[in-house]
Amino acid sequence: MTSSPTWSATLAGGRGNGSWTPASFYLNAGGLLALSIGAAHAHLGRAGWSIGVFCLAFTALVVVLLGLWDEFGTGDDLSVHTRLTFFLGPLYLAGPLLMASGAATVSRGVARAFVASAGLWLVLATGFKLAPDAWDGIVEKAAIAATLLWTLPLAGLQIAEGRTLATRPAP
């Protein structure tokens, strides 16, 4: 007997109705990798910033692997998908925390957003694993949204740096 997806899984979970295409995984991974390269170029901190750059790159790798599994996997169960998602936990927790002190050299608000991202991720990702099926799709999307408190401000820092460099007179 197979169960049909709950309303929240259908609405927000993506896996229940096939709304997450492999292309969305690859686009997300490409964005994470671009952030990683930009953060390496900006290098606003010491070892913590460097490890945060690797967290972004490894997160991109895991997201690609998730897309590949969803595209070419058997689809019989989510065991490989689930195991891959367990790698995201420490990456989305450690990355923003390790980069927060470097970000604080440019903006205290961005540093606070990084810390908030890690804290919200920890709570919501744990909540997702513990949530009943009727709510897990919504909690999953909230956890993913929490990661935007890391990636969007980081992108903003990189855009601001690019604009500053573009307006600087040539030597």
Average pLDDT over residues 41-53: 94
Share of the chain above pLDDT 90, in %: 61
What was the pLDDT predicted at 97? 98
Interacting residues of 70 by C-beta distance below 8 A, sequence separation 6+:
20, 22, 25, 81
- Which of residues 57 and 12 earns the better pLDDT score? 57
User: What's the DSSP call for residue 18?
Assistant: T
Q: How far is Cα 18 from Cα 12, in angstroms, rounded to an integer?
A: 11
What was the pLDDT predicted at 69? 84
- Judged on CB neighbours under 10 Å (0-12, 13-18, 19+), 6 is middle
Name the E strands within 24-141: none
Find the range with the poorest average confidence among 9-18, 45-54, 100-109: 9-18
Q: Is the pLDDT of residue 93 over 70?
A: yes
